[in-house]
Amino acid sequence: MIRFFRSGNPLTVLLLLIYTLLVKFYYLIHPAAHMADGSEGLLYSLLVKWIQVLTGGSAFVFTALAVMLILLQSLLLTKIINHHRLFPKPTYLPAMCYLLFTSLLQSWNVFSPALLVNVIMLWVFSSITELYTRTSARDVVFNIGFALGMCGLIYFPSIIFCLLLLVSMLIMRAFRLAEWIIAILGLICPIYLMGTYLFLTNQMTLLRQIPNIGLSLPLITDYKVWGAMIACLLFFVLGWLLLQRPLMKMLIQGRKIWAVLIVYVAVAMLVPFFNVHFSPAYWVLAVLPIAMFAGNVFWSVTNETFANVIHFIVLGYMIVMQYFS
């Protein structure tokens, strides 16, 4: 099976669709309502209310939307990877890994602010990869800052991704104070516009919902969470170690992009700790960049039989956690 995803054939998209139905089938027949744990942002709350009006609050509709978002993200991730040639040849392995690893934990398949933020973060990551080749990047950093500000309105702790932007600017470009100021202005702009709209429509009480942030250091006792996170981190470390040799043969831009991905994983792992109420569901933010390193594990294992064995071990663990735990 791995050899089909290793290929960059566009027809592999059809196989990805079938694979999505396979790994997400349990969640579709046992749908869960949208996430509402008190950490969501103002835009997310408004969007959920609108969907509830249209669908009557159907749990299946919300789960189906979550699965479609995950599939869309896997395809967009593949497009970015293949465009920048982060692998020697076009491949759908990271997309497969994202679909597989998000299936390890049920809360990663619930319609949540994190899934919406992941869509925007794909655009943010794609824009960050362009910083290296731009002579002037003021428009790009403003747009990235603006996108991160929108993420903050959906899920306020995601505003911490501004660290990703600032560190990425240090990695991809020489330091320019003007670009940093413009990036911060872009970050503030969506919150300012939302505040202006609420003021003009006499809804200033909603403004209190925007800075929705806290600090949590929880004791995690759920073995499913530990299993999912250990699997993700194991593939992340293996993917990084296996990347060292081919990394030396890459162009400078490619090496810098992989360095940005390391920062992306680190920041995304920290974000859920700034929830009002901690939830492992928000670690799906980290699964997105980790999928690229996991894809490199399967790419680097040239023995097809061994690669398939690794895949079926993870797939088998997923099925046990879904149906028999």
Q: Which residue has the tokens 């159907």?
A: 58
Percentage of the chain exceeding pLDDT 70: 100
Identity at 279, one-letter amino acid code: S
From residue 262, how far is each of 85, 178, 234, 278, 291 by CA, in Å?
17, 26, 14, 23, 12
Q: Which domain holds residue 204?
A: 1-323
- pLDDT tens readout for residues 174-199: 888 888 999 999 999 998 888 888 88
* Residue 271: per-residue pLDDT: 92
Can you read off the two tokens belonging to residue 29? 């027949």
Q: Which residues, including other chains, have CB under 8 Å from residue 261's CB and lie 6 or more apart?
A: 289, 292, 293
Band of residue 213 on the pLDDT scale cut at 50, 70, 90: confident
The token duo for 200 is 């003009």
- AA letter at 108: W
The structure's pTM equals 0.93
What pLDDT, on the 0 to 100 scale, is given for residue 217? 80
| Token couple for 65 | 């939307």
Query: Which region among 141-145, 171-175, 215-219, 221-225 has the lowest average model confidence (pLDDT)?
Result: 215-219
Q: What is the pLDDT of residue 69?
A: 95
pLDDT for residue 1 is more than 80: no
Q: How far apart are CA 286 and CA 277, in angstroms?
A: 18
State how many domains the chain has: 1
Q: What is the mean pLDDT of the chain?
A: 90
CB 206 within 8 A of CB 42: yes
pLDDT of amino acid 120: 95
Residue 63 — pLDDT band, cuts 50, 70, 90? very high
